[in-house]
Amino acid sequence: MKRLFAIGVFLCAGLSSPRLLAEVCHVTEQLAVAGTANDVMESCFEHRGMPAGSLDWSCNTEKSPVTGVHKEKRANCPSGHFGKCSAALTQETLANEDAGGQFVQGTWPDPLPDDAQIVTYYYQAQDREQTRIDCENGGGKWSQ
């Protein structure tokens, strides 16, 4: 009996560990112009080469000034994406996943690891080709 209790305590402690919590952010956006064929955008992004918790700020719907946007931390991104954008992770993309490596005037605090990346998977978009163009123009690498 004591052994079962010890195993239960170990499992509960492991499940509450920050390393095991969700480290991707699933995003859905209801577009202002509803009624079109693609009035919902859906994507999912992750930070690679970063410690647990790096998504906390950018995956927070409460801090989003945009209505109709829902962000949810998950264990992993779903399958079925039509494209993937990989870009260097910057201080800007930590706060805004759409920044895609573009520099915005201002100073960035502590440097990030050189190999840190933001990887975004796209599932629904109004214009798939424009999504690819935006990725590449922001310094990212597009793949399918």
Domain ranges of the chain: 22-143
Closest CA to 108 of 117, 98, 95, 119: 95
Distance between CA atoms of residues 144 and 130, nearest Å: 14
Q: Is 47 helix (H, G, I), strand (E, B) or coil?
A: strand
Query: Is pLDDT at 103 greater than 50 in this prediction?
Result: no
Distance between CA atoms of residues 53 and 19, nearest Å: 8
Q: Which residues contact 30 (CB under 8 A, 6 or more apart)?
A: 39, 40, 68, 69
pLDDT value, residue 139: 92
pTM of the predicted model over 0.95: no
Place of tokens 């560990």: 17
pLDDT value, residue 13: 36
pLDDT value, residue 114: 83
Beta carbons within 10 angstroms of residue 103's beta carbon: 11
